[in-house]
Amino acid sequence: MSNISIKGDLREGIKMVVNPSLSWDEIKNLIIDEIKNKEKFFKGVNIYIDFQGREIDNTEWEELQKQIYENYGIMLNKDLPKIRIPSSNIAKIIIGPIRSGKLVSSKENLLIIGDVNSGAEIICNKSVFVLGKIRGSIWAGYENNDKAIIFALGLEPEKIQIGSYIFDLPKARHRKAGYFLYIEDGKFKIDTY
């Protein structure tokens, strides 16, 4: 493995993986060289450095950050954005719409193709993906799985719950075309597209 490699697999930007066994000065020079050589390529892109568990001194890191930003206008990050993927890739597929009065329960991830209408209930031990609009109620990560996520194309729900957290959604209609709901640090988070 080379001492530095680029992985562009982040939705938010580019990941740069460095060899954790090198000294800080070596790592620093590697990063600076890499950015200097491909300055145009990196322009305007978020760069996340993956130290693969290596301890980094904060003042040294901030110095590098500042140096790169001043010379190239590029902001380095070291905290990787969490990539939210379901814990297993098996999903039960249901063709919707799920109508009022219908209860769907599943121990596997759920992929619902169609809307979940008002008065319908989904209870799933894992994650729920709705290729449609949620108007009914969904409990993902039943009963205590806070790692579950919910994805929906449209969001006007009656109730949303992930694990032990109930999402208090403002009544206003959302006008985005995709929603990711998940729990982070004990709080409900919502990403839109």
Partner 1 sequence: MGKSIVITSGKGGVGKTTAVANIGTGLAMRGLKVALVDTDIGLRNLDLLLGLENRIVYNIVDVVEGKCSLKQALVKDKRLNNLYLLPAAQTKEKEAVSIDQMKEVINDLKIEFDYVIIDSPAGIEHGFKSAISGADEAIVITTPEVSSVRDADRVIGFLEAYGLRDPRLIVNRVRFDMVRNGEMLGVDDLLDILSIELLGIIPEDENLIISVNKGEPIIYSGNKYKSALAFNLIVKRLLGEDVSWDELEKSESFIEKIFKIFKG
Please, are residues 189 and 182 in contact by the beta-carbon 8 Å criterion?
yes
- Complex with partner 1: residue 86 or 154, whichever CB lies closer: 154
CA neighbours closer than 13 Å in the CB half-sphere of residue 32: 15
Helix then strand then coil, % of the chain, to nearest 5? 15, 35, 45
Q: What gap in Å lies between CA 63 and CA 95, rounded to an integer?
A: 54
Task: Output the furthest CA–CA distance in the chain (Å, rounded).
Answer: 64
Least Å from the CB of residue 75 to partner 1: 42
Kindly identify the residues of this chain, within the stretch 43-82, that bind partner 1 according to CB under 8 A.
none
Site for partner 1 in 6-25 (CB under 8 A): none
Distance CA 124, CA 106 (A): 5
Whole-angstrom distance, CA of residue 9 vs CA of residue 95: 31
Nearer to partner 1, 73 or 101 (CB): 101
Query: What sign does the CA torsion over 104, 110, 115, 117 have?
Result: positive
Q: Applying CB under 8 A, which part among 7-15, 50-58, 98-106, 179-187 lies near partner 1? A: 98-106
The bridge status of strand 187-192 relative to strand 109-113 is unpaired
Identify which of residues 34 and 115 has a Cβ nearer to partner 1 in the complex.
Answer: 115
Tell the smallest beta-carbon distance from residue 99 to partner 1 (Å): 4
Kindly state whether residue 100 participates in binding partner 1, applying the rule CB under 8 A.
yes
x/- map, 107-146, partner 1, by CB under 8 A: -------xx-xxx---------------x-----------
We find the least distance from the C-beta atom of residue 169 to partner 1, in angstroms, to be: 16
- Pick one of 34, 42, 97, 152: the residue that binds partner 1 (CB under 8 A): 97
Site residues, partner 1 (CB under 8 A): 97, 99-102, 114-115, 117-119, 135
